[in-house]
A = this chain, B = another copy of it.
Amino acid sequence: MTTQEEKTRRAELIAAASRLFKEQGYERTTVRDLAQAVGMQSGSLFYHFRTKEEMLVAVMAAGIGDLTDRLEEALGQAKTPMDKLRTVCRVHLDTLLGDDKGALSVLLYEWPSLSDKARAELIKLRDSYERDWQQVLDEAAAAGLVHEDTRLLRKVLLGGLHWTIMWYRPEGGGTPSDLADRILELIIRKK
């Protein structure tokens, strides 16, 4: 029960932090902003998290964990290399640009705000996500769908997708999935 509520409160906090860190940036978001967003006093936050950075880490970990989960679930239903390729791109943009809290964009753009220690922890999670991507790209390359330098392709394509957050506007820009498909077109080799 207590644990239940604890989980709830923590989750609320992480959701609020995601949103605020995304909107205003980590450094510019104060502990008071965070507390106010969930209706508590700033001192109370420190019952749930030991430091502000711990909140940032929690947001990021939730972001990357959630993303990986979504990806693996979606990949389970994709059969062909082409299907899988489409899936990785769509899931990435749906998560990044969809109207969820924004944990993924915090992960990307507040990376330099992390201390070295915190970074190490998160790198593992990120690597696991990128491993999934790597597999999909390798299969696609084997099928002649994309350039065979898949390690480079992974980094560049992910970079291109990440950057969409700087310019994508839902109004008149199509859905994130549409955009993912159009971007994929740019790097697909003719069959």
A149 / chain B contacts, CB cutoff of 8 Å? 182, 185-186
**Residue A159 is within 8 A (CB to CB) of chain B in the complex:** yes
Contacts of A187 in B (CB 8 A): 186-187
Interface hub of A163, A164, A187 (most chain B Cβ within 10 A):
A163
Name A182's contact: one of B25, B27, B152, B162 (CB within 8 Å): B152
Chain A interface size range: 20 to 34
Is the CB of A117 closer than 8 A to any CB of chain B? no
Once the chains are docked, how many angstroms separate the CA of A147 from the CA of B159? 19
A161 touches B159 (CB 8 A): yes
**Which residues does chain B contribute within 8 Å of A147, judged by CB atoms?**
185-186
Question: In the complex, which residue of chain B has the Cβ closest to the Cβ of A162?
Answer: B163
| Residues in chain B near residue A49, CB distance under 8 A | none
Given contacts A27-B28, A185-B147, A163 and B167 within 8 Å (CB-CB): no
Within 8 A of B (CB), among A85-134: 109, 111-113
Binary flags per residue of A160-176, CB closer than 8 Å to B gives 1, else 0: 11111011000000000
A137-152 vs B, Cβ < 8 Å mask (1 yes, 0 no): 0000000000101001
Interface residues of A (CB under 8 A from B): 25, 27-28, 109, 111-113, 147, 149, 152-153, 155-164, 166-167, 182-183, 185-187, 189-190
